[in-house]
C-alpha cells in the first residue's frame, strides 16, 4: 500500500478488518516490521485520537515516531504555486514535504477544509501536493473531504458488536443471519463542521453494503445532502424517525451543508439523539467519531447509557492505524 486516502485504497474490507482484529489480539506480533523505520505525523489542525492512536500503532510495530504540529511549531506553509512569498507564509510545501520525506519512511497528514470554496476543498490539492513532493507513502490523518482511518475504525467496531464469522477459505466476513441496519444521522451543532467524517463513513458503508456486510441508511434535514459520489447505493431520507426504525447502529455526526457550501442552514434541536428516539431502534449501539458536544449533538443520557460504544470505537483507532501501517511497511 503506497497511500491511504480513501476506501479505494483497501482491496478487501473483510481482510482489512481481520488484519486489524488480529493486531488487537496480538499487538506486538509485527514489531520487527517497523524496526529502524520512522513515521512522521504532520498536523495542520488539532487532534487527540488520531495523533495518539496512530502514534501507538506505529510504536506497536516498532517504528520511531515524530509528531509535527505545524500551526504551533512549524513555519507557516505556502501551498499555492506561482506566488511571490512576500506575505505571512515562510516555507513552500514543495520544500517542506520533500524535507520531511528525507527524514521519514511513511508520512501522515491532517489538513481540514477551508469550507469557503467547495471546488478547492474537494480537489484535495494540498494532499496531492504533499504526497507528490514528499515521495513517501502517505496516510491520511483526515483530509478536506475524508477521514479514512476513522471510517475503517467504525467498520471494525460494527463487526465487533454484531454477529459475523470470518470464512477463512473465502477470506470474507459473513453476517450470521440478517445484516445490521446502520444509520448515519445528522445532528445539530453551533459551528460549521467539515463533511469529511460523514463523507468517509458513507463511502465505507456503501462499500460494506456492496460487499453484503450491512444495510445502510443516511438521514439529514433538507439541504444537507452529502455529495452524491459518497452515498451511491445508500437509502437517503429526511425523516429521521423512519430511518431509526429497527436500526442496529446509529452513527451520529454533524456536518455543514454541501449544497449551501460550508453553511449552517438548520439549527433544529430535535435532531439531537435522545433515549426516546432510540426506542424505535433494535436496541441500537450509538457511535460518534468524537469529540462530541454533550446535549447538543447527543444527549448525555445516551452517552452515559449502554447504547454508547463511542469509547470502544475510539480505542479501535489503534487497530485501524496498525492494519494500514502494517501494509505500508510490508511494501518497503
147 annotated binding-site participant: yes
Determine the size of the site formed for ligand CP (CB under 6 A).
8
Distance of CA 224 to the CA centre of its chain: 19
List the one residue out of 265, 179, 176, 178 whose CA is nearest residue 220. Answer: 265
SS3 126: helix
Report the alpha-carbon distance of residue 332 to residue 324 in Å, rounded.
13
By beta-carbon proximity to ligand CP, the closer residue of 142 and 248 is: 142
Residue with cell 480505542: 315
The 269-308 site mask, x for binding ligand CP (CB under 6 A), equals --------------------xx------------------
The 3-state DSSP class for residue 251 equals: strand
Task: State whether the Cα torsion 80-81-84-86 is positive or negative.
Answer: positive
**199: contact with ligand CP by CB under 6 A:** no
Q: Is 242 annotated as a binding residue?
A: no
Three cell numbers, residue 23: 493486531
Q: Which is nearer to ligand CP, 58 or 173 (CB)?
A: 58
C-alpha cell at 305: 447509557
**Three cell numbers at 116?**
469557503
CB closer to ligand CP out of 62 and 315: 315
Regarding 6 and contact with ligand CP (CB under 6 A), the answer is no
Q: CB-based contacts of 111: which residues, under 8 Å, 6+ apart?
A: 44, 45, 126, 127, 130, 142, 143, 144
Cβ distance to ligand CP smaller for residue 150 or 195: 150
Pick between residue 173 and residue 302 the one whose CB is nearest to ligand CP.
302
Strand, coil or helix: 257 = coil
Q: Any contact of residue 48 with ligand CP (CB under 6 A)?
A: yes
Closest-by-Cβ residue to ligand CP is: 50
- DSSP-derived 3-state class of residue 181: strand
* Per-residue interface string for the shown chain with ligand CP, residues 144-183, x marking contact by CB under 6 A: ------x---------------------------------
Would you list which residues are annotated within the binding site? 47-50, 75, 110, 142, 147-150, 189, 253, 289-290, 293, 317
Would you list which residues are annotated within the binding site for N(2)-succinyl-L-ornithine? 142, 189, 253, 293
Amino acid at each position: 500500500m503506497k497511500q491511504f486516502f480513501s476506501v479505494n485504497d483497501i482491496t478487501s474490507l473483510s481482510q482489512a478488518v481481520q488484519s486489524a482484529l488480529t493486531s488487537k489480539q496480538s499487538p506486538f506480533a509485527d514489531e520487527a516490521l517497523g524496526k529502524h523505520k520512522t513515521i512522521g505525523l504532520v498536523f495542520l489542525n488539532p487532534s487527540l485520537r488520531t495523533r495518539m492512536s496512530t502514534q501507538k500503532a506505529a510504536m506497536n510495530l516498532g517504528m520511531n515516531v515524530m509528531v509535527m504540529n505545524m500551526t504551533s511549531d512549524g513555519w507557516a506553509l505556502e501551498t499555492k504555486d506561482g506566488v511571490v512569498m512576500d506575505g505571512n507564509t515562510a516555507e513552500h510545501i514543495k520544500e517542506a514535504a520533500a524535507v520531511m520525506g528525507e527524514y521519514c519512511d511513511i508520512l501522515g497528514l491532517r489538513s481540514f477544509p477551508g469550507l469557503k470554496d467547495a471546488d478547492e476543498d474537494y480537489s484535495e490539492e494540498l494532499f496531492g501536493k504533499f504526497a507528490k513532493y514528499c515521495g513517501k507513502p502517505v496516510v491520511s490523518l483526515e483530509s478536506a473531504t475524508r477521514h479514512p482511518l476513522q471510517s475503517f475504525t467504525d467498520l471494525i467496531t460494527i463487526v465487533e458488536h454484531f454477529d459475523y464469522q470470518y470464512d477463512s477459505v473465502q477470506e470474507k466476513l459473513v453476517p450470521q443471519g440478517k445484516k445490521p441496519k446502520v444509520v448515519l444521522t445528522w445532528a445539530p451543532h453551533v459551528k460549521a463542521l467539515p463533511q469529511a467524517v460523514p463523507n468517509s463513513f458513507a463511502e465505507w458503508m456503501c462499500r460494506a453494503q456492496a460487499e453484503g456486510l450491512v444495510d445502510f441508511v443516511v438521514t439529514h434535514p433538507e439541504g444537507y445532502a452529502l455529495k452524491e459520489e459518497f452515498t451511491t447505493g445508500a437509502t437517503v431520507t429526511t425523516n429521521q424517525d423512519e430511518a431509526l426504525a429497527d436500526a442496529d447502529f446509529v452513527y451520529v455526526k454533524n456536518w455543514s451543508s454541501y449544497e449551501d457550501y460550508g453553511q449552517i442552514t438548520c439549527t433544529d434541536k430535535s435532531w439531537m439523539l435522545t433515549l426516546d428516539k432510540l426506542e424505535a431502534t433494535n436496541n441500537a449501539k450509538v457511535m460518534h467519531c468524537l469529540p462530541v458536544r454533550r446535549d447538543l449533538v447527543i444527549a448525555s443520557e445516551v452517552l452515559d447509557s449502554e447504547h454508547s460504544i463511542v469509547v470502544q470505537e475510539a480505542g479501535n483507532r489503534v487497530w485501524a492505524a496498525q492494519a494500514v501501517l502494517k501494509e505500508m511497511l510490508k511494501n518497503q
